[in-house]
Structure 1
Amino acid sequence: MSESQNIKKTRQTLYEELWAEPMTTVAVRYGISDNGLRKRCKSLNIPLPPNGYWAKVKAGKPVADRPSLPPYNETILSYESHGDEANASKVQSKRKKGILELLDFEELTVEQLENMHDFDLLAPGSLEIFTNWCNGLTVPGRIQDYDELISKHKLEMEYRIERDKEYPFRGEGIKLWNPLEKVKDRDNEPIIPINVSNSQRNRAYRIVDTILKAFRELKGSTSVDRGDKDNINITILGTTISFDLCECKSKRRYLDDQKTEFKPLYEMVFDGRLQINWRIYKGRHYSSSENTPSNYLSYIDVVDNRLENQIPMMITEFYKRCCDNEISAHLDHKKWVLEYEQEKEESQAKELREEQQKREQKRQAHRNSLINDISVHANNWFKHEQLSRYADELEAHLATYTDE
């Protein structure tokens, strides 16, 4: 059974169970918490009974109808709708929801996949919904509830600054004893790679927060790997993407009162322009196990197009490439399956031919042995006939003695 068939079976089973019994009962059966089961159902796009559903059922009160099980490859996107642009300033914007649906790979042939590229993976009407959602992505001027990875970055950076003040020579492997040690020395914990000046830090946080939440809305997962280097991995449709955000530097001449005999004439200083560098990995391809970046893309602040305004273009480009990678991955997989089945059929046919050949050789050997021993068999037959006649004659002769 294929992976997609397993997912379909699991979704259908959970869907039936969760609308037949309370979630706590089903969770105990699977040996997990109800919160863990709820998260699993959310990732599988399984609709759950609303709050108070089972209390109403127990009390015999009417309840909402059970919704049908939506396809697994659907994503619900919420975006702003401004209506007529001419009246956009007068009409308050409203949130709309649209379904982003992918085509079912099980129903696509190799020939169809070979003619598909990037957004061909989307079901009819989904591209318009995705475009409307993507164009509505904006970076807020203020964020109260940051993504957990941003919050972790804030805490880690505060620690690093205080630690480096406490141990100014730790980079050279020198640690001076301090009886009034306030900060415990430890290695850096990996966080999102954001390298900007203090004046641009909040702006960088808002940009990264918007990007992370956008990918999560597209059913992407985010993680920071363990190790000694800052990193971020975003996985969507089987493709892994990583990035680093930095602030550009410009060459500036040292001021006269700062010049010394041993200093250079120029220094590199942050100039307020942010740049984000992306790396795209084709990690899901069946034909290759290499996990090396296949594409590099960079976006930078420009005078008439700040980085915040380029986020819709970034998300569109990366989702398009992820769709293209997904098509290629499933095309490779289907070709591999066909080749495997063909090799299996050829192997079975070869084994059948060899078995038939062995039986024919055995039959021919037996026939040859009969032909080669025909004289022996003939002599044996004549001897048998002679002995049979002798026995008959002897028996007849003995009968005459009995009569006498």
Structure 2
Amino acid sequence: MDKVTFTRSELYSLVWKFPLVQIAKHYDISTMGIKNACDKMQIAVPNNRHWNKLEYKRTKAPKLSSDYIGSNEIDVVKKRYEMQLRKPSKQTPLLDLVQKIEHESNDFLMVKNKLENPAKIVSDTEKYSNFLKENNHENLEILNLNISDESLNRALLFMDAFIKLIEYRGHRFQKNNKGNDTVLFNNGIEIEIDLREALKRITIEGKRETSKYVSTGELILRAKKESIKNEWRDGKILLEYKLALILAKLELIAAE
């Protein structure tokens, strides 16, 4: 796993039961990641002197604030992924826009673990995949996904977060006149979007040696505007953690 999910009560209990360094080592996360999570969830954290005292002399853990209205769960990225997500020191237009999106749209950058009030096209795609493959689906607008059944849920969760981020930024996700999934930017520019799963060719040994393609679980998002093509795929960083980067690049392309 590339992240650790804590509930507010779990995180509160941990930081008052163990030193941050010990928690960080156990979960393979950074102490800064823990502190940032506590700040976001309004959890007081004991200072280092707290742990130097005998247990009976330590400060009693304060009660959790009752006026907290944020999410009850938070993800902390593991250290090896945190290193990959660090930004280079040199500023570029792309990096500037990524940081702007992260600052202004932070609540829309998290891909959830289950669909909650999904976009209609995502909901229709789920219905079609689960129940209606053999039935009439003319009234359903379906995402153009080239995804195995095993990766479908992840693809739907990603696309739902992506579409909601697009709409929050003032753009629209729709079908173009060719029936392709498209982002319509607020300046009228359209960019086609294609989410698919990478395939791997394997050899089947038998009386006659043949081969076939199998799904890998690796997602690829492709974007096309006339002759301009871009692609993002799973690697050390999964697509779920590239939402700001992807949309920033698309907005820059649309602005050209």
TM over 0.5: yes
- Indicate the structure (1 or 2) with the bigger Cα radius of gyration: 1
Structure 1: state its 5+ residue gaps: 1-83, 97-116, 163-182, 281-292, 326-404
Give the distance between the partners of 1:127 and 1:158, measured in 2 at CA: 36
CA 1:128/1:200 → structure 2, altered by over 3 Å: closer, same or farther?
closer
Give the distance between the partners of 1:260 and 1:160, measured in 2 at CA: 39
For 2:240, the equivalent position in structure 1 comes to 308
- The alignment partner of 1:140 has SS state of coil
For 2:196, the equivalent position in structure 1 comes to 246
1:269, distance to aligned residue in structure 2 (A): 0.6
Q: Which has the higher strand share?
A: 2
- The alignment partner of 1:91 has SS state of helix
For 1:270, the equivalent position in structure 2 comes to 215
TM-score (norm 2): 0.57
Contact 1:191 1:224 in 2 (8 A): no
Contact 2:124 2:140 in 1 (8 A): no
CA 1:226/1:118 → structure 2, altered by over 3 Å: closer, same or farther?
same
Give the distance between the partners of 2:33 and 2:214, measured in 1 at CA: 43
Give the distance between the partners of 1:267 and 1:127, measured in 2 at CA: 39
Residue 90 (1) aligns with residue 61 (2): no
Identity %: 15
Match of 2:104 among 128, 133, 143: 133
TM-score (norm 1): 0.38
Contact 2:222 2:232 in 1 (8 A): yes
Q: Which has the higher helix share?
A: 1
Match of 2:185 among 236, 239, 246: 236
1:59-78 to structure 2, matched below 5 A, reads none
1:212-231 to structure 2, matched below 5 A, reads 212-225=163-176, 230-231=179-180
Match of 1:152 among 109, 115, 124: 124
CA 1:156/1:143 → structure 2, altered by over 3 Å: closer, same or farther?
closer
Contact 1:190 1:231 in 2 (8 A): no
Count of matched residue pairs? 175
Match of 1:161 among 133, 137, 140: 133
CA 1:225/1:315 → structure 2, altered by over 3 Å: closer, same or farther?
closer
Deviation by residue 1:3-54 (Cα, 9 ceiling, x = unmatched): xxxxxxxxxxxxxxxxxxxxxxxxxxxxxxxxxxxxxxxxxxxxxxxxxxxx
- The alignment partner of 1:207 has SS state of helix
1:127, distance to aligned residue in structure 2 (A): 8.4
For 1:367, the equivalent position in structure 2 comes to none
| Structure 2 residue identity aligned to 1:301 | D
| Structure 2 residue identity aligned to 1:220 | H
Give the distance between the partners of 2:132 and 2:164, measured in 1 at CA: 26
| Structure 1 residue identity aligned to 2:40 | Q
CA 1:260/1:158 → structure 2, altered by over 3 Å: closer, same or farther?
farther
CA 1:130/1:268 → structure 2, altered by over 3 Å: closer, same or farther?
closer
